[in-house]
């Protein structure tokens, strides 16, 4: 399914737009990639839904010239007024909204501009939205503002402290040193005393050059940056070192050591576990392919004709699961499966198998490049296998050809998979096959979702929906 076809499908399903309006939206959607690259921003088209309370994203484009605001595609998702007030203001009034600050559903602060899209008789049929990520810019501004406000207070606390007035630096776990512009020690907290004792086996003294204790700090102190965070290795231990220069009004620099050794060790252990998990996935895939090879060998050696179909169905189910692990191993993530590739592999495998009656069956796919966790991907692979196999076996009886179309998309907080054919049509009076019973059971119990199948004017549509994983 092309982008314009997806626009048309979403508009027909969720909006009251007439055909001329939909054509205009489709034409505009073709230019979104150019707008996104030119403005280095994400660009969307939102259209009002049938009931008029919400809007739905019917098209989007992420820039190739800048980092995208969103990690996941949002086409097919609903927009709500509480989160998108500028969009609904533009839909109601037909007025532009420029450089409005907004929060995305993924929690990022963006600079948002909204322009209404007008159809016949100047009627508002949608909005064109541009969003630029400014969260990092705001964070940097907040950090600098906070640093400038607290610099003087921190220095006064350190310089004006007395034995009768304990301060925060005395109880924090990080080792804190305060040095003058020449690198001489003016202050250190108890954690700093312990660090010098452990590393250098000596006492910490005011007036001592800090580099004499930690020579590795020399490049850090020579760096012209007022705020610097880095990591250093000292006696087989890893420390995060922060340098905070107080500026001209209160001369001096904070050096803060935080022991990261245990954290880095755990990270290394996770890497080892990740490698082990990938090895397990590899072995599972190989074992499944071995079982499949044994079934093929048995079929070549001969099986009763009435049993052959059951061997083929079992073989296809095994290979469908094997495809899940094959995709996992091809990805950088050890637990995410890209659904489009999974559906494509399974569908091509089933359609390209030799048919006894030599039917010419074609299959097509549509949907964004979305990922799901491997445990759900196994269930989805078996469901897809059964639905497409059901089309191949039953949809095109007494026909020499047929078409199957598989769609995967996000709808709100739900994933949807739809298998459509132009065959003879599903009969509700007929007894459900074992494959459809498997689909219903797995959709409801394994995926906590739902399964529907119905006859249409041109064939049959079978669909499942199941909730997305929480981030």
Looking at residue 326, the DSSP 8-state letter turns out to be H
Nearest Cα to Cα of residue 118 among 95, 88, 87: 95
- pLDDT attached to residue 47: 94
**What's the pLDDT band for 165 if we cut at 50, 70, 90?**
very low
DSSP string across 331-386: SSSSSEEEHHHHHHHHHHHHHTSPPTT--EEEEEEE----EEEHHHHHHHHHHHHH
Predicted local distance difference test score (pLDDT) of residue 114? 93
Per-residue pLDDT reduced to its tens digit, 51-97: 888 899 999 999 998 888 888 888 999 888 877 888 998 999 999 98
Mean pLDDT computed over 408-435: 83
* pLDDT beyond 80 at 289: no
Q: Do domains 3-135 and 264-467 have the same CATH topology?
A: no
- Residue that has been written with the tokens 């909005």 in this structure: 127
Yes or no: say if 439 and 464 are a contact pair by the CB < 8 Å rule.
yes
β-strand 124-133 against 109-118: which pairing, if any? antiparallel
For domain 3-135, the CATH architecture is 2-Layer Sandwich (3.30)
Mean pLDDT of the chain: 81
Does pLDDT of 163 surpass 50?
Answer: no
Q: Provide mean pLDDT across the span 383-389.
A: 86
Question: How confident is the model over 329-374, as pLDDT tens digits?
Answer: 556 555 678 888 888 888 888 887 766 567 788 999 998 888 888 7
Look up the CATH architecture of domain 264-467.
Answer: 2-Layer Sandwich (3.30)
Q: Using 50, 70 and 90 to split pLDDT, how confident is the model at 199?
A: confident
pLDDT at position 291, please?
Answer: 73
CA distance 184 to 196: 15
- What is the average pLDDT across 216-225? 88
Q: What is the pLDDT of residue 149?
A: 54
Mean pLDDT throughout 457-466?
A: 90
Tell me what the mean pLDDT of segment 109-129 comes to: 90
Task: Provide the pLDDT confidence category of residue 43 given band limits of 50, 70 and 90.
Answer: very high
What's the pTM value of the predicted model, to 2 decimals? 0.41
The mean pLDDT value for 115-127 works out to 91
Q: State residue 318's pLDDT score.
A: 75
Please give the pLDDT value at position 60: 94
Identify any residues that bridge with 241 across adjacent strands, giving them in sequence order: 230, 257
> What is the CATH number assigned to the segment(s) 168-259?
3.30.450.20
pLDDT of 56 reads: 93
Q: Which of 105-109, 150-154, 407-411 has the highest mean pLDDT?
A: 407-411
Has residue 400 got a pLDDT over 70?
Answer: yes
What residue spans define the domains of the chain?
Answer: 3-135, 168-259, 264-467
pLDDT tier at 134 (50, 70, 90 boundaries)? confident
Task: Work out the average pLDDT over 441-454.
Answer: 89
Distance of alpha carbon 338 from alpha carbon 331, whole angstroms: 9
What is the pLDDT at residue 330?
58
Q: Say what the pLDDT of residue 324 is.
A: 66
Q: What is the DSSP letter of 275?
A: H
Q: Write down the pLDDT at residue 141.
A: 66
Nearest to 200 by CA among 235, 169, 232: 235
Where does the pLDDT of residue 166 fall: very low under 50, low under 70, confident under 90, or very high at 90 and above?
Answer: very low
Q: Is the pLDDT of residue 271 over 80?
A: no
According to the model, what pLDDT value does residue 59 have? 94
Considering only residues 305 and 171, tell me which one the structure prediction assigns the higher pLDDT: 305
In terms of pLDDT, which residue wins out, 276 or 384? 384
Is the pLDDT at 194 greater than 80? The verdict is: yes
Q: Could you tell me if 157 and 254 are in contact, meaning their C-beta atoms sit under 8 angstroms apart?
A: no
Res 112 pLDDT > 70: yes
pLDDT at 18: 92
Question: Which pLDDT score is estimated for 132?
Answer: 87
């Amino acid at each position: 399914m092309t982008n314009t076809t997806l626009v048309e499908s979403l508009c027909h399903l969720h909006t009251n737009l007439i055909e001329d309006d939909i054509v205009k939206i489709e034409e505009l959607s073709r230019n979104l990639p150019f707008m996104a690259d030119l403005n280095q921003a994400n660009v969307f088209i939102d259209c009002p839904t049938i009931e008029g309370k919400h809007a739905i994203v019917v098209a989007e484009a992420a820039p190739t010239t800048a980092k995208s605001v969103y990690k996941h595609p949002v086409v097919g998702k609903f927009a709500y007024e509480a989160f998108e007030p500028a969009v609904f203001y533009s839909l109601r009034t037909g007025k532009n909204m420029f450089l409005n600050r907004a929060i995305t559903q993924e929690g990022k602060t963006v600079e948002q501009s909204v322009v209404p899209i007008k159809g016949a008789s100047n009627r508002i049929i949608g909005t064109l939205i541009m969003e630029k990520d400014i969260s990092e810019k705001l964070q940097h501004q907040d950090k600098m503002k906070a640093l400038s406000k607290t610099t003087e207070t921190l220095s006064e606390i350190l310089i004006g402290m007395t034995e009768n007035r304990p301060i925060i630096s005395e109880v924090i776990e990080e080792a804190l040193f305060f040095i003058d512009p020449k690198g001489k020690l003016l202050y250190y907290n108890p954690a700093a005393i312990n660090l010098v004792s452990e590393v250098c086996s000596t006492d910490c003294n005011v007036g001592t050059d800090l580099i004499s204790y930690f020579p590795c700090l020399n490049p850090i102190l020579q760096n012209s940056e007022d705020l610097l965070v880095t990591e250093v290795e000292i006696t087989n231990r890893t420390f995060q070192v922060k340098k905070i220069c107080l500026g001209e009004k209160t001369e001096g620099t904070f050096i803060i050591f935080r022991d990261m050794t245990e954290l880095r060790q755990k990270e290394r252990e996770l890497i080892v576990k990740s490698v082990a998990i990938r090895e397990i996935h590899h072995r599972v895939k190989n074992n499944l392919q071995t079982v499949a090879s044994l079934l093929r060998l048995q079929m070549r050696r001969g099986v009763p004709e009435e049993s052959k179909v059951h061997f083929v169905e079992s073989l296809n189910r095994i290979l469908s699961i094997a495809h899940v692990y094959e995709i996992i191993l091809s990805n950088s993530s050890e637990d995410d499966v890209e659904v489009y590739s999974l559906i494509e592999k399974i569908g091509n495998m089933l359609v390209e198998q030799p048919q006894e009656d030599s039917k010419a069956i074609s299959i097509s796919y549509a949907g964004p490049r979305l990922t799901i966790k491997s445990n759900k991907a196994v269930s989805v692979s078996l469901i897809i296998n059964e639905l497409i196999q059901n089309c191949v076996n039953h949809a095109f009886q007494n026909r020499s050809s047929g078409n199957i179309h598989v769609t995967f998309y996000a709808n709100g907080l739900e994933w949807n998979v739809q298998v459509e054919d132009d065959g003879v049509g599903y009969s509700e009076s007929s007894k459900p096959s074992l494959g459809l019973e498997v689909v219903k059971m797995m959709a409801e119990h394994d995926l906590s979702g739902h399964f529907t199948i119905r006859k249409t004017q041109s064939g049959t549509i079978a669909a499942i929906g199941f909730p997305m994983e929480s981030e």
